[in-house]
Structure 1
Amino acid sequence: MRINTPSLFASTVLLAHHVAAGTASPNNPPSRNWVQRKWNGSNYACKCYAGDACWPRAPEWQALNATVGGGLRVVTPPAVSCYNTFQGPLGNISAYDAAACQAVTTGFPSEQFQVDLPAAGLWTYFTNDTCRPTTNPTDTCTLGYYPVLVITAKTTDHIQAGIKFANKNNLRLIVRNTGHDFLGRSVGWGALVINTHNFQDITVTNSWQGAGGYTGSAVTVGAGVQAFKALKTLHELSPPRVMVTGECATVGVAGGLPQGGGHGPLTNLYGFLADTALEFKVITADGVLRTANAVTNPDLFWALRGGGPASFAVIVSASYKTFVDLPSTGVILNITPAQNTNATLFWQGVTAFHGYSNHFVGKGLYVYYELVPGLVLHVQPILGIGKNATELQAILKPLFDDLNAMGLAYDTSSKSYSTFYELYNDMFETETAGQSALTGGWALAKTDVANNNAGIVSAFQNALNHGAILVGHMWNAGEGLPSREWNNSAVNPRFRSVSDKLITVLPLAGNAPLADKAAAQQTLTGVIDGGLRAAAPNGAAYVNEADPFQPNWQTAFWGTNYPALLRLRKRWDPTGVFYAVSTPGTEDWEQIEWGTRLCKKL
């Protein structure tokens, strides 16, 4: 089902008449239309937004629309059809459609439903949680912090036109391929979006002929290709092959995932997705289509491999190594109130379980688990790639012996598959969209687990006591990757010595009062994640799944690689065409006026 969005031409009058007074900074070149603002006693130079004098006029938008093949649209929230009127920044639109409202209400929790929309964010906190599905069409529906306009790009020319237009007019630009993002980087108040989801080509080869000396099998995927499609294509080869992807099947594999690193079930064997990259086709901030590999633009190639999403270029396509798919076994472990209501005993069990994280990754396992308030530990799966049930159970025996010795009841099951792909489709649980929460996280170093596992578990308890949910991923990005290759990508070197990467989730409505949001952010940063950082000081933060407002984010996300990334950002995007919160070079940028206007502090 397609949610109708108003065409550009239906909104031409709105665009032409919604221009208010603003002031461009006289200290910048004429092509850079900066808007001067004062906020909390400080002066700022801001991007240009609807209502500013620098906002492009209707003929300019019409020309852009023609250049991008009629693919420019006004953005409306996904559930706009459930409301009588959409009160947008470009004017009001009659919106109610009962059938469409029912469809969006049904589809709203589906990740794929949200992915297929042109400018939605899968999690709603950073949209201001506006205009959710409702049974009361007289409720208020506004744009909130969704973008204003979106280009549905179908060719590289369309992407280039969007970048050049945003650069010329100093618009906030967002690049979206799936909207699969916890930190609000796929949405943004007043922005222009370039949607790359239509780039769906997949090409496989048995013998890579590109730069870098690698001659094995490879796959090249377009910017919009998701993990489930790439894995299905590789599975249909003879023999079946596999690539590193995220744990979630709906994640795109050629956008923010490799630019953040890209961890998943195969990371313990082959490193990050970024570590397996062979080449990118990208469009840089100047609108030029370039190749980046080990020989051509090698500095850009390094930065694109884990140096920060939406920081250096728009990825059009990416080429990666592939690997033979192997027989695999998965184990499920549950400790819930159905088995145990003794809190002391439950946390003893969690301590035992987590104390084996170094052991698990050292034996090549990947472990995905959730800790939920109410004495719930859900582990699904404990994954052994290339291992049969007997081999996996032998690795897990010390844990089960400990649980049995302490008298802690649990449920467990095991299943073997002829390939990892079949296990992936059967044992990894489907995630849902449409939820609102603040997200943080921290990766735990092996040394900290070995020396302070009890303190780490106390930090887990602290997090749950403050309303958080913990999602753990046990892997080590250096376990199966030769150390000589560790520095070939820009990911934080500390990830080569971790054994558990945690996501902390603090549920909160995106339209909560500002005071409540500020208090929740302080709790997440200082108390929940602060407890984890204190218990595991040798760890790191993963930029795609962590608190962007944590202290010293440059070091937390990139460690010793940050100075080089900062220099490269200034080289490849000197005027700040691209932006994602807390990425290299964004120290001087701030979203002022209650998280709306993107500005540079003067």
Structure 2
Amino acid sequence: MRATIASLVSNALLLIQQAAAAPTDTDTWNETTVDISGDSSADSFSVASIYDWTYRRWNGANYACKCYPGDPCWPSTLQWNLLNATVGGNLQISIPPAASCYNTFQGLLGNISTYNAAQCADVHANYASEQWQIDLPTAGLWTYFTNDTCRPTTNPTDSCTGGYFPTIYIKATTIAHIQAGILFAKNNNLRLIIRNTGHDFLGRSVGWGALVINTHSFKDISLTSSYRGACNYTGSAITVGAGVQAFEALSKLHSLNPPKIMVTGECATVGVAGGLVQGGGHGPLTNFYGFLADTALEFQVITADGVLRTANAKTNPDLFWALRGGGPSAFGVVVQATYKTFDDYSSSGTTFALGPANVNNNDTLWWDAIAKFHSYSNHFVDNGLYIYYELYPGLSFRVQPVVGVNKTAAQLEAVLQPLFNDWTAMGLTFDKTTTTYSTFYELYNALFESEVAGDSALTGGWAFSKTDVAKNNAGIIDAFKNVLNNGALLVGHMWNGGHGLPQSQWADSAINLRFRNVSDKLITILPLSGNAPLAEKEAAQRVLTDVVDGGLRAAGPNGAAYINEADPFQPNWQTAFWGTNYPKLLQLRQKWDPTGVFYSVSTPGTEKWEQIEYGTRLCKKL
């Protein structure tokens, strides 16, 4: 039998101290030396497994690592069978979505015959579908961080390996299943991933050799017209399970008479109780009600000790604060969340675009038009508008939509008219369409487009403050040019997280206070195959971090980065993501998860954690 959790923690800490004092020469510190790369130029490392840590040496440094298949500390078949019985037979081997197009899937646990013609046809037909991928147990919607080693193919004899996909998953259907998975990962020092939709740009839903707990089956929704809880709020509210997606919650609210709405992301397929709110959760209603985190009333959350806890303004208030924007997969597994809801209103939306023909293929004129558009950022958000836009190489600029909640078409166009007047004076011709809908819900469904799954890219981003736009719009546009000139794309979201939220409530959540003065939050996208050569990946990451996003940071020194849509490898990520809130978040992470059961890249307390050996093993640097 394994030791108790307390003794495991004590032993692990003791071993880390011993390892830190051990000789750093590979031959004396370790038992065996192995070259994992197959070429003589690679670093060598060795393994000495003691208790539940595996010690590695990589790039001249010593690490204590989680346990993986083949390590002496990897659980035995008996232990896995016992876990499977505990979770009702819902423990399964993780297989990449496209494995059915290959004769054999070569995973960490051995080879599996996988070819199935009908299933392969389904893969080819649906691989780009978000919901199809979401309903799979361990898929990541963007594939870069899976290593793209098993994409759809028409040649079944091709090689399909696991890449960075997880190894095993629990399709949890009860709270007890989640608790069992957390404790099993903790007791056996396994890398643990919490996955609902896989709706993530940063690879947090996948990870080499990991155990996944899938929470997507938790679909309960309940509504109340008069909330009674641990705060002064007594209005309407919605309570959702961990697996509920935005379109499901909004549909339920719309069925009421009169209809209600809630803050969600702009993408209808995102889950609303997990990573979205733990990262903050911005969307088309942020100008009015703040982030999704600002509307949270209570969470039911399982912490790293396996205990189900209530977190609200009176019970575990520090945990409640941290879960509201303090970082996804950092403090616990949210199994249920309760949010404020609001009256729905008739709303108007506008779409417009500028392409090469609109500017007679004049590059200078096109950029002047973009500069003029962006100079109105503060004006737009101060007047309650939300704007989603895309900027691509080839003089392609598209706005869909501009959202005017509780505005008529005339009121919305009145806010936009100064821009249109300036464009007309510049000699531009352009088409615009404005439509009024009876509710925001109908506008949301009509104008926000579904996103595509299966793409591979590095993602970064930065948010510009109102101060930066007012003082340095020309510099911001130069940074935009730099992004496109280096092969990346731009997606912009104009909103202000403090516009409609009383200033007295700004600090009630862990969200970076700088977002209360933002007027434009950008995502940068650098297309790159996940199975590109390592040198190419490293070069692309440097371009994204230092050049593409580096230019944006320099142009917007008063801005911030949004943890769910940014480069996790940027310098000073602690300040960029959380500003002055970071020291408190670090203390809370040490309180609620002192041994690192949960992990998500560049979240509080992960400074010493790295994925070594070419992005595989999750280890703590000694």
TM class, shorter-length = over 0.9
**Higher mean Cα deviation, 529-538 or 23-32?**
23-32
Map residues 136-535 of structure 1 onto 2, 5 A cutoff. Answer: 136-340=155-359, 341-535=361-555
For 2:369 and 2:194, the matched residues in 1 are separated by: 44
Question: What's the counterpart of residue 46 of structure 2?
Answer: none
CA–CA distance in structure 1, aligned partners of residues 126 and 336 of structure 2: 29
Cα shift at 1:339: 2.3
User: Which string of whole-angstrom CA distances, capped at 9 and with x for unpartnered residues, describes residues 521-561 of structure 1?
Assistant: 00000000000000010000000000000000000000000
Separation of aligned partners in 2, 1:229 and 1:318: 14
Shift of 1:207: 0.5
Tell me how far apart the structure 2 counterparts of residues 411 and 535 of structure 1 sit (CA, whole Å).
31
CA contact (8 A) 2:16 2:64 kept: no
Q: Distance in 2 between matches of 1:31 and 1:472?
A: 49
**Cα distance change of structure 1 residues 388 and 63 upon mapping to structure 2, 3 Å threshold:** same
Residues 116-142 of structure 1 show CA distances to partners (whole Å, capped at 9, x for unaligned) of 000000000000012100111111000
1:565 aligned residue: 585
Decide whether the 8 Å contact of 1:31 with 1:169 is kept in 2.
Answer: no
How far is the alpha carbon of 1:410 from its aligned partner?
1.6
1:584 and 1:25, CA in 2 relative to 1: closer, same or farther beyond 3 A? closer
Q: Is the contact between residue 384 and residue 392 of structure 1 (CA under 8 Å) also seen in structure 2?
A: yes
Q: For the structure 1 residues 31 and 269, does the alpha-carbon distance in structure 2 shift closer, same or farther, using more than 3 Å as the test?
A: farther
Deviates more, 1:345-354 or 1:330-339: 330-339
- In structure 2, the residue matched to 1:27 is 15
SS at match of 2:356: coil
Q: Which amino acid aligns with 1:171?
A: L
| Aligned partner (choices 38, 43, 60) of residue 62 of structure 2 | 43
| Aligned-partner residue type, residue 282 of structure 2 | H
Contact 2:330 / 2:604 at 8 angstroms: preserved in 1? yes
Aligned-pair distance for 1:390? 0.5
Q: Secondary structure at the match of 2:125?
A: helix
For these two proteins, the number of residue pairs brought into alignment is 580
Change (3 A) 1:536 1:25: closer
> Hey, what's the Cα distance between the residues in 2 that align with 1:31 and 1:475?
52
Deviation, 1:411, is 1.7
Give the AA of the match of 2:229.
G
Give the equivalent residue in structure 2 for 1:135. 154
Q: CA RMSD in A?
A: 1.3
Partner Cα distance (2:579, 2:13) in 1: 36
Taking the aligned partners of 2:587 and 2:125, their CA distance within structure 1 comes to 47
Q: 2:210 and 2:450 mapped to 1: Cα distance?
A: 31
Distance across 2 between alignment mates of 1:494 and 1:183: 22
Secondary structure of 2:358's aligned partner: coil
Q: Is the 8 A contact 2:273 2:334 kept in 1?
A: yes
The answer to whether the Cα contact below 8 Å between 1:492 and 1:557 also exists between their aligned partners in 2 is: yes
Deviation of the 1:70 alpha carbon: 0.5
Unaligned runs of at least 5 residues, structure 1: 1-22
Counterpart-to-counterpart distance in 2, 1:249 and 1:26: 47
Amino acid at match of 1:324: D
Distance in 2, matches of 1:216 and 1:338, equals: 51
Q: Which residue identity lines up with residue 275 of structure 1 in the other structure?
A: D
Equivalent position amino acid for 2:162 in 1 = L
1:32–1:458 CA distance, 2 compared to 1 (3 A):
farther
The answer to whether 1:540 aligns with 2:528 is no
1:25 CA drift (Å):
9.1
Matching of residue 55 in structure 1 with residue 80 in structure 2: no
Aligned match of 1:10: none
The answer to whether the aligner puts 1:116 opposite 2:135 as a matched pair is yes
Identify unmatched segments of 5+ residues in structure 2: 1-10, 18-48
Contact 1:291 1:297 in 2 (8 A): yes
Task: State the alpha-carbon separation in 1 of the partners of residues 50 and 325 from structure 2.
Answer: 31
Q: Deviations over 1:100-130 (max 9, x none)?
A: 0010111110000000000000000000012
TM-score with structure 1 setting the length: 0.95
Listed one character per residue, the Cα deviations across residues 40-90 of structure 1 (whole Å, up to 9, x for unaligned) are: 111000000001000000010000000001000000100000001111111
User: CA contact under 8 A between 1:32 and 1:169: conserved in structure 2?
Assistant: no
Letter in 1 for 2:175: T
Report SS of the residue matched to 2:339: strand
The aligned counterpart of 1:7 is none
1:338 deviation in Å? 3.4
Paired residue secondary structure (1:364):
coil
Asked if 2 retains the 8 angstrom alpha-carbon contact of 1:110 and 1:433, the reply is yes
Alpha-carbon offset, residue 31 of structure 1: 10
One-letter code aligned to 2:269: T
Alignment partner of 1:221: what SS? Answer: strand
Q: Is the 8 A contact 1:160 1:288 kept in 2?
A: yes
Instruction: Provide the rounded CA distance (Å) in 2 between the counterparts of 1:63 and 1:413.
Output: 60
Within 2, Cα distance between the matches of 1:111 and 1:411?
Answer: 30
| SS of residue paired to 1:225 | coil
Partner amino acid, structure 2, of 1:103? D
Moved more, 32-41 or 184-193: 32-41
Q: Note the C-alpha offset of 1:509.
A: 0.2
Equivalent pair of 1:127/1:144 in contact (CA under 8 Å): yes
Q: Deviations over 1:248-291 (max 9, x none)?
A: 00000000000000000000100000000000000000000000
Q: Secondary structure at the match of 1:338?
A: helix
Q: Which residue of 2 aligns with 1:18?
A: none
Cα distance in 2 between the residues matched to 1:185 and 1:281: 22
Separation in structure 2 between the aligned mates of residue 490 and residue 65 of structure 1, nearest angstrom: 37
> 2:379 and 2:156 mapped to 1: Cα distance?
55
* Conserved? CA contact 1:331–1:382, under 8 Å: yes
Counterparts of 2:97 and 2:395, CA distance in 1: 36
Distance 1:264 1:375 in 2: 27
Q: How much has 1:28 moved relative to structure 2?
A: 6.0
